[in-house]
Amino acid sequence: MLDWSLFSVAMVCAAILFSYWGFEKSRASTREIAVIAVLGAIAALGRVSLAALPNIQPVTCLVIISGYVFGARAGFMVGSTAALASNFFLGQGPWTPWQMFAWGLAGSSAACFRVAFPGAGKRAMLAFQFTWGYLYGGIMNIWTWATFIQPLNWQSFLATCAAGVWFDTVHAAGNVLFYLLFGTGAVKVLDRFKKKIEVKPVTAVKQT
């Protein structure tokens, strides 16, 4: 009989490894790597510092902002790195790959959101932040369901999701609050910083 818990973890780990492999093959500049490392560390620090507050996750807001500004690749790396780094303080376990995957997707999807809606304003970003409170919870609910719940069916899955609605709502509201506090300013600052670190090719001028 297939062990859905191990199978799901293997699939998530494969997706993470594939993303890291793609990042390595992309030959990212040292500046981009440094930015990802700093943003990942800040996100991890924010999570650890507020760990006493149930499901208040400033890391989600910052990861989304990172992906929104620097792109899908950077967004995924910031999210996955923040989850891995913060769990060295909060505890590593079989949930870590799922958290890395969920926050990585949050960062990547933010880049897709910017491409799809380039003129999106503050309200749209607040809605996106709010939505990811539930999406993150939904992804983690899949891990909980596949690992601890029997039997595995739609009824038990919906019951698992229903049990976490309160925590997901707090997470979503926290995302909105953090974006209202520093989101718009952070996007502007990081946009300016992105322009400074971008390497522009030098075009040779033909002399006559």
For the chain, which residues make up each domain, given as ranges? 4-197
Element at 118 (helix H, strand E): none
CA-to-CA separations, 177 to 9, 57, 60, 68, 131, in angstroms, rounded: 32, 11, 12, 18, 13
Distance CA 22, CA 10 (A): 18
pLDDT above 60 (res 206): no
Residue owning tokens 């093959």: 25
Contact (CB, 8 A) for 115 and 72: no
Exposed / middle / buried, residue 140 (Cβ in 10 Å: 0-12, 13-18, 19+) = buried
- pTM score of the predicted model: 0.88
Could you read off the pLDDT of 129-152 as tens digits, one per residue? 999 999 999 999 999 998 888 888
Fold observed for domain 4-197: Arp2/3 complex 21 kDa subunit ARPC3 (1.10.1760)
Could you read off the pLDDT of 14-49 as tens digits, one per residue? 888 888 888 777 777 788 888 889 999 999 999 999
Return the C-alpha torsion angle 173, 176, 181, 184, nearest 10.
Answer: 170
- Confidence at 199, pLDDT banded by 50, 70, 90: low
pLDDT above 50 (res 208): no
pLDDT above 80 (res 93): yes
Looking at the chain, the whole-number percentage of residues with pLDDT higher than 90 is: 59
